[in-house]
Amino acid sequence: MKFAKRTESLPPYLFAEIDKKRQAAVARGIDIINMGIGDPDQPTPKNIVDAMHKAIDDPITHNYPPYQGMKEFREAVVKWFEKRFNQKFDADKECISLIGSKEAIHNMIFATIDEGDVALLPDPAYPVYKSSTILCGGVPYITPLLEKNNWIPDLTKIPNDIAQKANIIMLGYPNNPTGAIASLDFYNEVIAFAKKYDIIVLSDNAYSELTFDGYTAPSIFEAKGAKDIALEFHSMSKTYNMTGWRVGFAVGNEKVVKALSTVKTNIDSGVFKAIQRAAIAAFDTPKDVLEKNRNLIKERRDVAVKGLKELGWNIKDPIKSTFYLWLPIPPAFKTSTDFASAMLDKCGIVVPPGIGYGEYGEGYFRIALTVDKKRIGEAIGRMKKEGLVFAAQTCSVK
């Protein structure tokens, strides 16, 4: 058998590998505390589930959906976007439904990157950015996210010749894996940079609604001139606990949306109509339900931070968005993989090593706050018992 060479250049998908190790540990009878994958453990809100029950009983939803998404869904999207970010979009030309943002990010890279084209990508980052670029034959140019820069890329460090060759720049704030946030000033800088070099800006804003401590995440479209050159991806997964439903949307420049639509119409047949109807209902989820969800994550964050401080981590600034903690590994360990392996083998705790998010992720690991407070406390106890603590060394979580 012969397979495409492009698959040989890809590392195993991080979360698939983590799940294999988790399943193997479970098979050995180990009580696993899984803090590895950003999959909300709370149920989808009742109003959404009820809408799905009603929609699925309607046979009209059982045939092929419109490729761009149902008009009612797209209209609900732009209505929500205007209310949330005070930015207007044309539901017919500047909006498209997604089978979750993961497929759309890949398809958008496929629509913009030819063999040898340069993509400006953050590191550490969601692994799909780089793997999709490689699959398309593109050349990833890494823009490092460093702790000293609050995990924001320094655009001034990108060489002029590289910027001139680049087709896209990829952003993701609030950030996975670091939990970092971006300011509107930074977005203005990105748009100015992109316009100078005629680069398409792709903004992954999947965690925009998971914010705490009075912080509200912006959209890149709040930056001046963003609609001329940008596209933003949103997912229903994290906001509404709908990871398995596979539904999201993108809004942005008409030409960019059209390019994405061209690829998608040749690859998939759109989102099941019943799910789109349920997603419409999601936009009307009571505020107190969403606030309860955010408060739950914040409480877990506070429990985790308190426990980790007691184990030696000097966490100065807890995250204001996402449900991740991005932490340095203890100095006793040489690599993040060594530490993640020790966490699993000694404590029965699943955490991804930072290297899985790119070379600049080495020396760190990520905790997903997707288990209840009791289990987080139990995880801290296991780490203490097994001596997986942090020796005196300054670190912070942004």
pLDDT tens for each residue of the chain, 398 residues long: 877 777 777 766 666 777 787 788 778 888 999 999 889 999 999 999 999 999 999 999 999 999 999 999 999 999 999 999 999 999 999 999 999 999 999 999 999 999 999 999 999 999 999 999 999 999 999 999 999 999 999 999 999 999 999 999 999 999 999 999 999 999 999 999 999 999 999 999 999 999 999 999 999 999 999 999 999 999 999 999 999 999 999 999 999 999 999 999 999 999 999 999 999 999 999 999 999 999 999 999 999 999 999 999 999 888 999 999 999 999 999 999 999 999 999 999 999 999 999 999 999 999 999 999 999 999 999 999 999 999 754 333 33
pLDDT of residue 13: 66
Q: At what angle do helices 336-347 and 14-27 cross, to 10 degrees?
A: 20
User: How many CB atoms lie under 10 A from the CB of residue 88?
Assistant: 13
Burial of 218 (0-12, 13-18, 19+ CB in 10 A): middle
Q: Reduce the secondary structure of 224-260 to three states and give it as a string.
A: CCHHHCEEEEEECCCCCCCHHHCCEEEEECHHHHHHH
pLDDT of residue 217: 98
Tell me how far apart the 2 most distant CA atoms of the chain are, in Å.
Answer: 63
Asked whether 15 and 352 are in contact (CB, 8 A), the reply is yes
For the chain, the first-to-last Cα distance in angstroms comes to 47
Smallest CA-to-CA distance from 326 within 144, 150, 206, 183 is with 150
Torsion angle defined by CA atoms of residues 385, 387, 388 and 393, in that order, rounded to the nearest 10 degrees: 130
Asked whether 333 and 354 are in contact (CB, 8 A), the reply is no
SS3 helix, strand, coil % of the chain, rounded to 5? 45, 15, 40
> Residue 259 is encoded by which pair of tokens?
């390019």
Q: Render pLDDT for 91-133 as a digit per residue (tens, 0 to 9).
A: 999 999 999 999 999 999 999 999 999 999 999 999 999 999 9
Q: Which domains does the chain have, with CATH numbers?
A: 5-43+287-385 (3.90.1150.10), 46-282 (3.40.640.10)
Distance CA 46, CA 70 (A): 22
Distance CA 374, CA 183 (A): 34
Burial of 179 (0-12, 13-18, 19+ CB in 10 A): buried
User: How many CB atoms lie under 10 A from the CB of residue 160?
Assistant: 9
Distance CA 33, CA 280 (A): 34
pLDDT of residue 337: 92
Name, in order, each residue with C-beta under 8 angstroms of 114's C-beta and a sequence gap of 6 or more: 136, 137, 138
Smallest CA-to-CA distance from 342 within 360, 330, 357 is with 330
- Buried b / exposed e over 302-320, threshold 16 CB at 10 Å, is ebbbebbeeeebebeebbb
pLDDT of residue 142: 98
What are the backbone dihedrals phi and psi of residue 48, each rounded to the nearest 5 degrees, phi first? -75, -45
Q: For residue 6, give Cα distances in angstroms to 11, 86, 104, 122, 123.
A: 11, 42, 20, 21, 21
Q: For residue 47, give Cα distances in angstroms to 212, 237, 280.
A: 24, 15, 10
Distance CA 216, CA 210 (A): 9
**In the chain, % of residues over pLDDT 90:** 89
Q: For residue 256, give Cα distances in angstroms to 138, 201, 265, 343, 354.
A: 18, 10, 14, 43, 32
Distance CA 162, CA 149 (A): 21
Q: Render pLDDT for 217-262 as a digit per residue (tens, 0 to 9).
A: 999 999 999 999 999 999 999 999 999 999 999 999 999 999 999 9
- According to DSSP, the residues that pair with 143 across neighbouring strands are 122
What are the backbone dihedrals phi and psi of residue 349, each rounded to the nearest 5 degrees, phi first? -115, 130
pLDDT of residue 14: 67
